[in-house]
Structure 1
Amino acid sequence: MSADRWPGRRLVLAGAVAALLLGAASVLALAATDAFRGPSGAHWRVPGARCNAPALPGQAVDVTVGDMGPGMMGGSPGRHGMGMLRLVARPGVVSGGVVSLQVFNAGAMTHEVVVLPLSPGQGLGERPTGPDGKIDEAGSLGEASRTCGAGAGDGIAPGAMGWTTLALNPGRYELVCNVPGHYAAGMYAELDVER
């Protein structure tokens, strides 16, 4: 096959790679900064969000979920490749008692956050996924998966928030997105609850 068969192929490929890297850098930069964080104990206001969380009781944990958006990730459904899906929780350590998760979906796909206890010695991302691309939610303490609302729903739409308030005992917890394929693609984070 001749290299001249598809003129400009290298330029198109280089442009696609650059767009992919720029998108990944943008998601990582947003997740790594405090751009979406409010002061501790305050409710989280995200400029331009479809909705914001109301004032919630207890300690606030700001969670940002995100992805690179449609058309920028290759692969088949459920395989989002290259770790382009993110779930970041701040702070990562709180005191036992009432804790409110305020989840902002900074991505282009629907996401959710489910709270599961971690057993002693159990690591993050070690839960087996079933044929449906989801993990078993048995033992869940609650979730934020309702667009512009509290508790369980059909997922948090892009640009919107969802929230939940829980009473958490000291221990380790895994916050996960259980949309098919998202957990396997790295959408989990640890929340440690101290005495």
Structure 2
Amino acid sequence: MLGIATTMALAATGAFRSAAPAAWRAPGVQCSAPALRGHSVDVTADDMGQGMMGGGYGMRMMRLAAHPAVVPSGVTSLRVFNTGVLTHEVIVLPLPPGQGIGERPTGPDGKIDEAGSLGEASRSCGAGAGDGIASDAMAWTTLALQPGRYELVCNFPGHYMAGMYAELDVTSR
């Protein structure tokens, strides 16, 4: 229910338009993204924090959701909104042929191998890599993506295993 309400609130603000306004702020988020280049993808990072216990996502206690989930190749900007109570990040990894999302092996530290990463959004209220996106904050990154399938992941210990992954498909122009 909360996910549907968040999606409706974002849609009402125009968050899912491909052309970003000069500065954009999601409801309840403490900072704004500047105007970003290329196609915009809004990614929501969510967890079963306070107020969600019992409602949750079943076996997937955390999640990433990307909208739109399909974009044309070229410059793409990810705007990541942390609507959960835990700190999160989003790393972009190519998906090998025949592999689905959520199928990467995790190590004893509860993390996946980030080799081949194309970039990340993990700086609260900023672009690129950092120490994580705080609750009610956002981060962003801009990448040049070739046609293919990509997996967006949160690689904080245990988060991937708890369901923090989403697919982003990039098509030929």
Common fold: TM-score over 0.5 = yes
Asked if the contact 2:9/2:27 (under 8 Å) is kept, the reply is: no
Name the amino acid aligned to 1:113.
V
Structure-1 residue corresponding to 2:45: 65
Q: Number of aligned residue pairs: give it.
A: 164
1:150 aligns with 2:130: no
The structure-2 alpha-carbon separation of the partners of 1:96 and 1:30, relative to structure 1 and needing over 3 Å to count, comes to same
Residue 81 of structure 1 deviates from its aligned partner by 7.0
1:95 aligns with 2:72: yes
Residue 123 of structure 1 deviates from its aligned partner by 0.9
Cα distance in 1 for residues equivalent to 2:8 and 2:68: 11
Q: Secondary structure at the match of 1:122?
A: coil
Residue 53 of structure 1 deviates from its aligned partner by 1.0
Structure-2 residue corresponding to 1:16: none
Asked if the contact 1:81/1:185 (under 8 Å) is kept, the reply is: no
Residue 126 of structure 1 deviates from its aligned partner by 0.7
How do 1:3-152 and structure 2 match up within 5 A?
25-26=1-2, 28-30=3-5, 33-37=7-11, 38=15, 39-43=17-21, 44-69=24-49, 82-152=59-129
Residue 48 of structure 1 deviates from its aligned partner by 2.8
User: Percent identity, aligned pairs only?
Assistant: 71
Cα distance in 1 for residues equivalent to 2:77 and 2:5: 21
Q: 2:139 aligns with which of 152, 162, 167?
A: 162
Residue 49 of structure 1 deviates from its aligned partner by 1.2
Residue 59 of structure 1 deviates from its aligned partner by 0.3
Query: Which has the higher Rg, Structure 1 or Structure 2?
Result: 1
After TM superposition, the score normalised by the length of structure 1 is: 0.78
Asked if the contact 1:41/1:60 (under 8 Å) is kept, the reply is: yes
Name the amino acid aligned to 1:47.
P
Name the amino acid aligned to 1:149.
G
Cα distance in 2 for residues equivalent to 1:30 and 1:107: 14
Q: Secondary structure at the match of 1:35?
A: helix
Name the amino acid aligned to 1:52.
S
Deviates more, 1:137-146 or 1:47-56: 47-56
Asked if the contact 1:73/1:81 (under 8 Å) is kept, the reply is: no
Residue 41 of structure 1 deviates from its aligned partner by 1.6
Cα distance in 2 for residues equivalent to 1:72 and 1:117: 32
Q: Secondary structure at the match of 2:4?
A: helix
Cα distance in 1 for residues equivalent to 2:43 and 2:9: 12
Residue 72 of structure 1 deviates from its aligned partner by 6.2
Cα distance in 2 for residues equivalent to 1:85 and 1:175: 13
Structure-2 residue corresponding to 1:184: 161
Cα distance in 1 for residues equivalent to 2:5 and 2:45: 10
CA RMSD of aligned residues (A): 1.9
